[in-house]
Amino acid sequence: MGWLALTQECREAAEGHMPEPEARPDGRRGKRPASMRVFENPFVERWLARAHPITPGLWFGWVVALGLYRGIVGFGLAGVGLFHAGVLTTTLIEYTLHRYAFHYDAKSPEGRLRVFLMHGYHHEYMDDPMRLVLPPIAIWPIAAVIALVWYLVLGPYWLPVYAGTAAGYVAYDWTHYYTHHFQPRGGIGRWLKRYHMLHHHDSPNARYGITSPLWDVVFGTYLPLDRMVRRAGRHGPSVTETLEES
């Protein structure tokens, strides 16, 4: 694990021991640091565990264009349908991972560390711009596995579906970045931002959708914007408990 060794600060944060706020000359309590070093290895930390928000489009834009083109040339309108099936599949993957993996209630120190690396860091440092889109160390292996699965399962249809999957992923990452770093004044952008901010600040056990509330509606974790979850925090009550209280 030498190459992927984690900092002690990261290990402590996974157990809930967050860094103290910075000291101020006037003695008042300052702000907590805006980010944390995760890996000891400087190359891994700088180039593999962080990513500029533009990078998802650079990594996968050509895959989207190539797959959609090959789908249309090879299958006509059916190719467009395959592409959109890939997009829809990504929204389901987004929801499933966010709900069941990223918010898994781990009992062991090793499990809590894995959850912190996957998603807990984001909830603690939710506006760190270089760890908001998935970095290479996370997205490249996932992309390779999904490509292999689609190739084995779908045969000649795999590329347009994979292109749609990639397009859905880029939409997810950019929508996620948008909800954290932009201030939309109205429309769907403002709605999505408010929906996601409520997930962070009010209902960590609901509102899992980033690009869409579709699967929240399907699986019962949707809450309207005017619905607050009482006593919600890092480990707030479940959606079922909340609905039963009302």
**Residue 245 pLDDT > 90:** no
pTM, two decimal places:
0.88
**Residue 211 pLDDT > 80:** yes
Average pLDDT, the chain: 90
Residue 119 lies inside a defined structural domain of this protein: yes
Residue 219 lies inside a defined structural domain of this protein: no
Please state the rounded mean pLDDT for residues 141-155: 97
Residue 200 lies inside a defined structural domain of this protein: no
The pLDDT assigned to 130 comes to 95
Q: What percent of the chain lies above the pLDDT cut of 90?
A: 83
Count up the domains in the chain and report the number: 1
Residue 206 lies inside a defined structural domain of this protein: no
Residue 90 lies inside a defined structural domain of this protein: yes
Side-chain half-sphere of 166: how many Cα atoms within 13 Å?
26
The pLDDT assigned to 22 comes to 66
Residue 165 lies inside a defined structural domain of this protein: yes
The pLDDT assigned to 33 comes to 80
Residue 99 lies inside a defined structural domain of this protein: yes
Residue 159 lies inside a defined structural domain of this protein: yes
**Residue in the structure block whose two tokens are 């003695």:** 27
Range of the domain at 95: 52-182
